[in-house]
């Protein structure tokens, strides 16, 4: 018979409160809805120059069960041109202001430019989502420490030598956490992202999901972003807008393996997936005495 022993995952990170919403790590898997304010998003969902459309998407995501929204104005697909921070802000701010007026959901800003992050925080953003994991610009860490905002930091494997999937992610996370500690960032406000699709082969992306439990010992909430990624297109032989089943599979597998937040384009469908996944996977998780969550 299959084992019914609880999974030995210990949570020591306290609950996180963002804009009066409480994230109790381990209680369930949370959903991040993606709003791309770009003309060249890999997923074909970019909204550029239409703040009303961004606000409408935010309102829809809230109704569908999103817990947090992530707004980005620069495409992170391979080969995409890097934007000047001033150009990024020109794209971002109208949409950010419209979304902030339309919803009280927590908002994160997908940027690796401190100048963009600082202005976004002043206009109602609650978190920075840095795909460079504080490893590109030291001013990003200083900004996060000074403002006390929540930091989502990704390990980006692009341009880095490969040794082992889990070891490389852990090395990246160690560098991020060392920089965060040296600048005084509150560790309870850090979320780590292993970087699905950022410098990995399709096989390595799938291995990453299988090996997520190896990252539990970091005792830091984990975010996974597999939505509509090219790995799914190669596996399924489908176009970017026909990958919902593959996204659902990785959403379920990632949540069962310990991802605390899943970053997705299809909020309503993935909320249904997670209701079932959490009912199976999280019901057996065991929390240790002295857990600081409420």
How many separate helices (H) and strands (E) can be counted in the chain? 9, 10
Cβ neighbors of 131 (< 8 A, separation 6 or more) are: 76, 110, 112, 154, 156, 193, 195, 198
Q: How far apart are CA 217 and CA 39, in angstroms?
A: 39
Active-site option among 179, 263, 271, 282 = 263
Residue 263 is among the residues annotated as catalytic for this protein: yes
Residue 275 is among the residues annotated as catalytic for this protein: no
Cβ neighbors of 262 (< 8 A, separation 6 or more) are: 29, 30, 31, 32, 223, 224, 225, 226, 227, 251, 254, 255, 270, 274
DSSP bridge partners of 28 = 25
Please name which of 80, 157, 146 lies closest in space to residue 117, comparing C-alpha atoms: 146
22 class by beta-carbon count within 10 Å (0-12 exposed, 13-18 middle, 19+ buried):
exposed
DSSP label at 211?
A: T
Cβ neighbors of 170 (< 8 A, separation 6 or more) are: 214, 215, 218
Active-site option among 91, 100, 229, 271 = 229
Q: How far apart are CA 232 and CA 239, in angstroms?
A: 9
Under DSSP, is residue 290 helix (H, G, I), strand (E, B) or coil?
coil
Residue keyed to tokens 């100048």: 115
Q: Which residues are catalytic?
A: 229, 263
């Amino acid at each position: 018979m299959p084992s019914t022993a609880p999974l030995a995952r210990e949570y020591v990170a306290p609950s996180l409160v963002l804009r009066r919403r409480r994230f109790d790590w381990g209680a369930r898997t949370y959903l991040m809805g993606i709003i791309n304010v770009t003309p060249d998003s890999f997923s074909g969902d970019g909204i550029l120059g239409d703040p009303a459309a961004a606000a409408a998407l935010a309102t829809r995501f809230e109704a569908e069960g999103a817990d947090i929204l992530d707004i980005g104005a620069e495409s992170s697909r391979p080969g995409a041109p890097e934007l000047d921070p001033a150009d990024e802000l020109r794209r971002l701010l109208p949409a950010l202001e419209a979304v902030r007026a339309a919803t009280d959901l927590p908002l994160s800003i997908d940027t690796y430019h401190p100048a963009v992050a600082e202005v976004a925080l002043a206009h109602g953003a609650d978190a920075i989502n840095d795909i460079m994991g504080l490893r590109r610009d030291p001013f990003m860490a200083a900004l996060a420490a000074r403002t006390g905002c929540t930091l989502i930091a990704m390990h980006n494997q692009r341009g880095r030598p490969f040794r082992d999937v889990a070891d490389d992610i852990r090395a990246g996370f160690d560098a991020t956490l060392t920089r965060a500690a040296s600048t005084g960032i509150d560790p309870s406000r850090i979320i780590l992202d292993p970087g699905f699709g950022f410098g990995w082969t399709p096989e390595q992306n799938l291995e990453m999901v299988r090996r997520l439990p190896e990252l539990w010992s970091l005792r830091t909430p984990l975010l996974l972003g597999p939505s509509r990624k090219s790995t799914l297109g190669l596996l399924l032989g489908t176009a970017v807008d026909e990958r919902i089943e593959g996204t659902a599979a990785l959403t379920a597998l990632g949540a069962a393996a310990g991802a605390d937040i899943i970053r997705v384009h299809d909020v309503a469908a993935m909320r249904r997936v997670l209701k079932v996944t959490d009912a199976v996977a999280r019901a057996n998780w065991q929390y240790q005495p002295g857990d600081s969550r409420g």
